[in-house]
Amino acid sequence: MRIILLGPPGAGKGTQSERIVERFGIPQLSTGDMLRAAVAAGTPVGLEAKAVMESGGLVSDTTVVGIVADRIEESDAKRGFILDGFPRTVEQAAALDAMLARKGIALSAVVEFKVDETALLGRIAKRAEETAARGQPVRKDDTPEVFKTRLDAYRKQTAPLSDYYAKTGLLHVIDGMQPIDTVTQKTMSVLGQHAETAAS
Ligand code: AMP
């Protein structure tokens, strides 16, 4: 099963991903996590991405498409994967389509979490607080100022993907303002319909 999770920062993609990983045993491929790891390791990709990420902008399509293309070649992704935070632009979506077509595989579903933007700022503040309370480093882009830029980037560059995937018939929209467990239940119910393809 190959799934894309869509939704603005703070919509719950990470939390729902963890639960899908547990249920279906497919890996979560988060471009944000991969880029943060590259920044921490000081790789060429990390050096390119660092400042852009800290300002809340988007890393170049070429770079991100490249890391995803490499990652989905790894053995754990053969049975499927969850893409979290990718694609983020229509160009990335088109590049993904071409990449999957070359490999002779297809997406199973796109799940979009719709959320009320005014509530997101509160969620992000909570995520930063909880991370700090666990003694873990807080993401530099989880500040109110940078968050606004990230939300703006989402609205302008990523929101059009909703129409893009609606046209392919792959899109399922879920109200992400519901309690976390309800969102999980609805997500699992959507994905359950595709579980048969997951086995193939
Ligand atoms: P995220 O963890 O998904 O919120 O991503 C954190 C940051 O990484 C974003 O604000 C971007 O700067 C960068 N990033 C993650 N995924 C992508 C992507 N698909 N395209 C461009 N930039 C990305």
- Residue 118, domain CATH: 3.40.50.300
In this structure, of 15-19, 37-41, 141-145, the range with the lowest mean pLDDT score is 141-145
Atom of ligand 1 nearest to the CA of 153: 10
pTM for the complete prediction?
Answer: 0.91
- The answer as to whether 47 is a domain residue is no
pLDDT higher than threshold 90 for residue 141? no
**Residues with catalytic roles:** 13, 88, 127, 139, 150
Strand ranges for 63-156 from DSSP E: 81-84, 109-114
Q: Are 115 and 176 in contact (CB under 8 A)?
A: yes
Please calculate the CA angle 21-86-73 and round it to the nearest 5 degrees: 65
Predicted pLDDT of residue 196: 57
Q: What separation in Å is there between the alpha carbon of 184 and the centre of ligand 1?
A: 23
- Ligand 1 atom 5 nearest Cα: 32
Order of strands, edge to edge, in the sheet holding 109-114?
28-30, 81-84, 2-6, 109-114, 171-175
Q: State percent of the chain over pLDDT 70.
A: 98
- The answer as to whether 34 is a domain residue is no
- In the chain, the number of structural domains is 1
Atom of ligand 1 nearest to the CA of 87: 19
- The answer as to whether 151 is a domain residue is yes
- Ligand 1 atom 1 nearest Cα: 32
* Contact 32 CB / ligand 1 (< 6 Å): yes
C-alpha distances (whole Å) from 23 to each of 1, 4, 38, 74, 160 are 12, 16, 28, 20, 29
* Contact 112 CB / ligand 1 (< 6 Å): no
- The answer as to whether 53 is a domain residue is no
Q: What separation in Å is there between the alpha carbon of 31 and the centre of ligand 1?
A: 6
Predicted pLDDT of residue 200: 43
- The answer as to whether 158 is a domain residue is yes
- The answer as to whether 101 is a domain residue is yes
Domain that holds residue 83: 2-26+79-188
Substitution site in 34, 88, 147 for ligand 1 pocket (most atoms within 8 Å of beta carbon):
88
pLDDT higher than threshold 60 for residue 199? no
Q: Which residues pair with 148 in a beta bridge?
A: none
- The answer as to whether 46 is a domain residue is no
* Contact 53 CB / ligand 1 (< 6 Å): yes
Q: What separation in Å is there between the alpha carbon of 72 and the centre of ligand 1?
A: 17
Q: Which residues, 6+ apart, have CB-to-CB distance to 172 below 8 Å?
A: 109, 110, 111, 112, 190
For the segment 58-87, the average pLDDT, to the nearest whole number, is: 95
Sign of dihedral through CA atoms 182, 185, 186, 188?
A: positive
